[in-house]
Amino acid sequence: MTVKKDDINEIVAVISMAAEDKRLLGEFLIDLLTPAERREIAARWQIIKQLDRGIPQRKIAENLGVSVATVSRGAREMLDPKGGFHKVLARFDARKARNI
């Protein structure tokens, strides 16, 4: 399957639009993704949060019931301090801090 950059840009636009309404976004993601894909995405997000907290990769794999290779992929992406994971984590942490 070949996915074009325009296809990625379109799904980003659709998700951005749907994100204006959290319930709509949730419904869209449920329709778009299989249960396994939703679980995988949720696990990847938990991996990134635990890596950000400094939890060792083997412990994260044990905590989440995923392979060390899966955690290592997230760890490689976290090596880029200007990457998307760090940017989103900063916004997520700031938003979380405001709600406490």
How far apart CA 40 and CA 66 sit, in angstroms, is 9
**pLDDT (tens digit per residue) in 33-89:** 999 999 999 999 999 999 999 999 999 999 999 999 999 999 999 999 999 999 999
Q: Please, is 46 exposed, middle or buried when counting C-beta atoms within 10 Å of its C-beta (0-12, 13-18, 19+)?
A: middle
Separation of first and last alpha carbons in the chain: 44
Identify the residue with better confidence: 99 or 80: 80
How far apart CA 5 and CA 16 sit, in angstroms, is 16
pTM: 0.84
